[in-house]
Structure formats: C-alpha cells, structure tokens
Amino acid sequence: MTQNSADPFLGRDAGEGPPVLTAQERAALIQLGEGGGRLPTSRLSQDVLAGLVQGQTARVYAPGKVQLTALGIRALAALAKAAADL
C-alpha cells in the first residue's frame, strides 16, 4: 500500500527509529506517560508542547488537552529501554 507523504497524520515509519528529542521534551513524554497518555496543555511549556506536536510525538486532541501519539508511545518505550540498558 502506498502512503501519501503529505499526510500529516501518517507519522514516521517504525523503522526510522525514535525521534530526536530535547531533554525537556523527553521529560514531558515521561510526564505524559505517567498521566496515562493525556495531560492538560497547561502542564507543558509552549516550547515543549510545540516541539512534541511538530515532532508528532503528541497531539492536541481537545481544547487545552494533549495526548501521546503512536510515535510518542514508541519514543517513550525507547526511553524506557535506554534507561533499562544503563
């Protein structure tokens, strides 16, 4: 099946590996995970929220609320694996 690379909801291929995140974005992903995958946007700074949304690891799903995407879950799993490997 061919994919439309212009579609913003497709995200990245799983084979591309986890996205590159800043330390603040990694902390926010962990915070999202601890919150059950959803948080009020007020709990994140504008810069971090913008980075997560632009990186497709989180999305705004309702006014004032953000949730992990499939890519965000994979990134969170990669963070957990890296921590376990230490």
Q: How far apart are CA 85 and CA 43, in angstroms?
A: 29
CATH of domain 22-81: 1.10.10.10
Amino acid at 25: E
pLDDT by residue for the chain (86 residues), tens digit each? 445 454 444 554 555 677 889 999 999 999 999 999 999 999 999 999 999 999 999 999 999 999 999 999 999 999 999 999 88
Q: Which among 82, 85, 86 has a CA at the least distance from the CA of 30?
A: 82
Q: Where are the domains of the chain?
A: 22-81
pLDDT at 18: 74
pTM for the whole thing? 0.78
Q: Which among 42, 34, 86 has a CA at the least distance from the CA of 66?
A: 42
pLDDT at 9: 47
Residues 66 and 59 sit within 8 Å (Cβ to Cβ):
yes
